[in-house]
Amino acid sequence: MRPLALLTALALSLFVAGCGDDDDDNGMGPAGVAEFDVIQEGVDSYVDSDLAPTISSQTLWENLNDGDASNDPVIVSVRSSAHYALGHIAGAINIPWREIADPAQLAKLSKSDDIVIYCYTGHTGGVATTALNAMGYSAKNLKFGMVGWTKDAAVRVAKPFSETTDAHDFPIEMITNTGGSYALPAPDNTTSEDVAEILRAAAESYVADPDKPATISAQALFDNLNDGDASNDPVVVSVRAAAHYALGHIEGAINIPWREIAKVENLSQLPTDKQIVIYCYTGHTGAVATATLNMLGYSAVNLKFGMGSWTTDPTVRVAAPFSEDTSPDLPTVQ
């Protein structure tokens, strides 16, 4: 079910259930329905759908230049306003990713429009894209962000993936690991009885929190796992396909494919009192899973550049990381 249809269905079900009290300390929302249930339905309607999470720069460029303005998407730069001013895709508006769930910023967007989000390297763009889709918008994330659009270092700001500085050869294993059995979270973000507001508040509780980073580097994760203190180890989750998990994964990682990350039976494998590190192929679907978990009340962070940063083995990587050789150099405006 598409997110917009889901919101309508949820709203009707809550209306039929009757008027309830405001949220209490147990995260209970309208008509005694837990906020968790509303958010879970909202995020799952996006991640477990046929919507593509990304769009390539070439595809976007061809769309914008096909002579038919009626099919042009609304383009949103979720980079900072200062970096937006350095150069952006023609026609793009600016909503920094930390503000993507702010009501004043959302007023600039329509749920009837196709939206393309872009950031620096694709990671925070994936977060913003997930938040918007969960709220009923129709958005895609520009693959590799601005570094996949232009080669101008001043406009890029952030450096793209580099085999020299970002790729490692950290150990992998092929043992199948299983998750634990935990109680589900009980998010309590709003006293509103409106389904759309519950989803918006869930998104804002994550993206607007400066203490919740979007990514973690492979080196930082490796150092944590090997500091001799198992008490601070995060739960590591591969959101790659089961077949690709079997080819090799980070030691101790469990496998929950990203399209299935919001299923209750999978969420029950994850703790609410420990950090969760998500990784995928290049960082994009990892961002989707990371945003999903944080909206639900978990503490999750995305491995920057995905498996491409953990190992240089192309068989284990499966997907090739960013490469300057295949990146276009398309125009930007100020």
pLDDT given at position 29: 53
pLDDT tens, position by position, 218-227: 999 999 999 9
Q: What does the pLDDT read at residue 27? A: 63
Please list the residues that pair with 294 across neighbouring strands: none
Q: Residue written as tokens 């079900």?
A: 13
d(Cα 216, Cα 118) in Å, to the nearest integer? 19
Confidence of residue 21 (pLDDT cuts 50, 70, 90): very low
pLDDT at 24 over 50: no
pLDDT for the residue numbered 13: 44
pLDDT at 18 over 80: no
3-class DSSP assignment, residue 248: coil
Structure confidence at residue 11 as a pLDDT band (50, 70, 90): very low
pLDDT at 15: 38
In this predicted structure, what is the pLDDT of residue 77? Answer: 98
241-255: pLDDT as tens digits: 999 999 999 999 999
- H or E element, residue 113: none
**pLDDT band per the 50, 70, 90 thresholds, residue 55:** very high
In the prediction, which pLDDT does 33 show? Answer: 65
pLDDT in tens, 137-150: 999 999 999 999 99
Residue 6 has pLDDT above 60, yes or no: no
pLDDT band at 72 (very low <50, low <70, confident <90, very high): very high
Q: Mean pLDDT over residues 125-131, rounded?
A: 98
The pLDDT score that the predictor gives to residue 170 is 98
Range with the poorest average pLDDT among 1-10, 104-113, 203-212: 1-10
Which tokens belong to 163?
């085999």
- Token output for 253: 């990682």
Q: What is the pLDDT of residue 26?
A: 54
Beta strands in 176-285 (DSSP E): 215-216, 235-238, 249-250, 254-255, 275-279
Encoded amino acid at 182, one letter: Y
The runs of H, that is alpha helices, within the chain are: 3-17, 35-47, 57-64, 81-86, 103-106, 123-134, 153-156, 195-207, 218-225, 242-247, 264-267, 284-296, 307-310, 314-317
pLDDT for residue 14 is more than 90: no
Q: Which phi and psi angles does 129 have, rounded to 5°?
A: -60, -45
Tokens of 71: 């099919």
Fold of 172-317: Oxidized Rhodanese; domain 1 (3.40.250)
Which pTM was predicted? Answer: 0.91
Nearest Cα residue to 245 out of 215, 270, 279? 279
**Nearest residue to 306 (alpha-carbon basis) of 216, 174, 207:** 216
